[in-house]
Amino acid sequence: MKRNLLALAIATLGTQAAAGTVTIDGADIVIKTKGGFEVKTSDGEYSFKLGGRVQLDYNSYDGVTNAKTGVISAADAGNTGSDLFFRRSRLSIKGHAGDWKYGLSYNLDKSGDDSIDSLKVGYTGFGKQLNITAGKQKEDFGLEDTGGSKWITAIERSMPSNAFDTGNNIGIKIHGASDLITYSLGSYKIDTDSNRDLETSVTGRFVIRPIYSKDAVLHLGAGFTQRDSDTAFDDFDTRVGVRGGDDGDATKLSPQFTSGDGDEMTVYNLEAAYSTGPVHLMAEYFDGEIEAPDTVAGSDDLNVDGYYFQAGWIVTGESRSYKKSSGSFDKVKPSGKNGAWEVFARYDSMDAESGTNIGLVGGEGAETATVGVNWYASSNVKVALNYVKAETDKKIQGEDDGDALVGRLQYTF
């Protein structure tokens, strides 16, 4: 036995000597590549990871989805539009040193956009149930929006998730999770006012998991965001089921004030999801209000609500993973050589109330139905095809329904 081990030792060293030796300067180190690159010290004190995502999308869309006034003329409205474009192309770097960590997600974009998707510094010294994170980050509002764009089921998020998305903003958040709950509460910069004084939001989310085991997750959550600004918002708008090419100019449902800017936005949401084996169900409801402009006498408040239902089934038997730290669904990892196949369906609905000083641009409401298939070719590659059917209650340039075919090739590393 000892002799064999000794022989092994000699053999292994022989190989190493031939190829050169690797040492480190500091603590012991662990290295990994799965297409990206990761290094950490064995004692857990330091880590560094570089990765990225590419989403190459094809959109073909007609009828009401390609009828946006000001982008498509009446003569062209409703005809088929098509485009091939990068929906997202990002590099990410993250790491930690002791109790402090950082994370960067950077958009490799055309000029004209702010290129920092997120950039944050966190203190983790109080344990997993109390993290403090400062910098540009998600406000954590809604199940679909809190999850990453890499692992949403459909190619685009639902109409209400899009309409009520708080985006990524600079602020400070406390957040934490146990097996039972996930919570976050933060305050974020929206803008500065005419005095150059900060305008801020307060956003919170609470999730409880009555069931949380290897076999099943039952997720129930609620959230709110309250946003104060003189000029930052006067509408709730959302694209009707398709992005509409590189410029993102698909027709929008955009209820808005006819004149003036709203003073305060408040949105509530409810979320529910159940996942067991290869099947998941999820639904969210959002209810938003923007207070009437001070400056417009008799103006009503702007009220919009929306919801969606989604069901998915991974035909090849894998399960969609769930991250309790953020209370959201995550990646699907294929178990076999031929990848994992998933089919899903989603129904979205948005509705706005009419009133004095309210302009229902795009109409009072819209509905979309989406069906799709995802092929997780490997842990790095996802190929998706979605079909979207959209209807608006009002004709836009003569169109009130349309459909879209959307394809995606995604590589993550």
Site string for a copy of itself, 380-409 (x = CB under 8 A): xx---------------------------x
Does 336 engage in binding with a copy of itself (CB under 8 A)?
A: no
Contact segment (CB under 8 A) with a copy of itself among 28-36, 145-153, 303-311, 353-361 equals 28-36
- Taking the complex as a whole, how short is the minimal distance between the CB of residue 147 and a copy of itself, in angstroms? 22
- Report how far residue 159's alpha carbon sits from residue 370's, in angstroms, rounded to the nearest whole number: 11
Contact segment (CB under 8 A) with a copy of itself among 108-116, 155-163, 274-282, 290-298 equals 108-116
Question: Is residue 223 a contact partner of residue 204, using CB atoms and an 8 Å limit?
Answer: yes
96 or 280: CB nearest a copy of itself = 96
Residue 303 CB burial class (10 angstroms; 0-12, 13-18, ≥19)? middle
Does 254 engage in binding with a copy of itself (CB under 8 A)?
A: no
Cα dihedral: 254, 260, 261, 265 (round 10):
-70
Contact segment (CB under 8 A) with a copy of itself among 32-40, 269-277, 384-392, 398-406 equals 32-40
Does 84 engage in binding with a copy of itself (CB under 8 A)?
A: yes
Does 115 engage in binding with a copy of itself (CB under 8 A)?
A: yes
Among the listed residues 181, 220, 231, 249, the single contact to a copy of itself using CB under 8 A: 249
Among the listed residues 74, 129, 167, 192, the single contact to a copy of itself using CB under 8 A: 192
Question: Is residue 92 a contact partner of residue 106, using CB atoms and an 8 Å limit?
Answer: yes
Does 198 engage in binding with a copy of itself (CB under 8 A)?
A: yes
The number of beta carbons lying within 10 Å of the beta carbon of residue 128 is 12
Among the listed residues 76, 180, 295, 395, the single contact to a copy of itself using CB under 8 A: 76
Q: Please tell me the total number of residues recorded for the chain in this structure.
A: 413
- Report how far residue 216's alpha carbon sits from residue 222's, in angstroms, rounded to the nearest whole number: 20
- Taking the complex as a whole, how short is the minimal distance between the CB of residue 381 and a copy of itself, in angstroms? 5
- Taking the complex as a whole, how short is the minimal distance between the CB of residue 350 and a copy of itself, in angstroms? 23
Does 309 engage in binding with a copy of itself (CB under 8 A)?
A: no
- Of 347, 325, 342, the C-alpha closest to 151 is 342
The number of beta carbons lying within 10 Å of the beta carbon of residue 74 is 10
Does 124 engage in binding with a copy of itself (CB under 8 A)?
A: no
- CB burial of 45-65 (b: ≥16 within 10 Å; e: otherwise) equals eeeebbbbbebebbbbbbbbb
Does 111 engage in binding with a copy of itself (CB under 8 A)?
A: yes
Among the listed residues 44, 63, 96, 203, the single contact to a copy of itself using CB under 8 A: 96
200 or 349: CB nearest a copy of itself = 200
Does 253 engage in binding with a copy of itself (CB under 8 A)?
A: no
Site string for a copy of itself, 156-185 (x = CB under 8 A): --------------xx--------------
Does 189 engage in binding with a copy of itself (CB under 8 A)?
A: yes
| Structure tokens given for 257 | 């004030």
Task: Check residue 165 and report its DSSP letter.
Answer: -
136 or 157: CB nearest a copy of itself = 136
- 143: helix, coil or strand? helix
92 or 326: CB nearest a copy of itself = 92
- Which of the residues 339 through 378 are near a copy of itself (CB under 8 A)? 377-378
Residue 5's H or E segment, with its range, is helix 2-19
DSSP annotation string for 291-326:
PPPTTSTTPPPEEEEEEEEEEEEETT---EEEETTT
Question: Is residue 390 a contact partner of residue 368, using CB atoms and an 8 Å limit?
Answer: yes
Contacts of 179 (CB under 8 A, 6+ apart): 209, 212, 324
Among the listed residues 69, 102, 237, 266, the single contact to a copy of itself using CB under 8 A: 102
Among the listed residues 26, 127, 298, 336, the single contact to a copy of itself using CB under 8 A: 26
Does 83 engage in binding with a copy of itself (CB under 8 A)?
A: yes
Question: Is residue 367 a contact partner of residue 400, using CB atoms and an 8 Å limit?
Answer: no
- Report how far residue 215's alpha carbon sits from residue 213's, in angstroms, rounded to the nearest whole number: 5
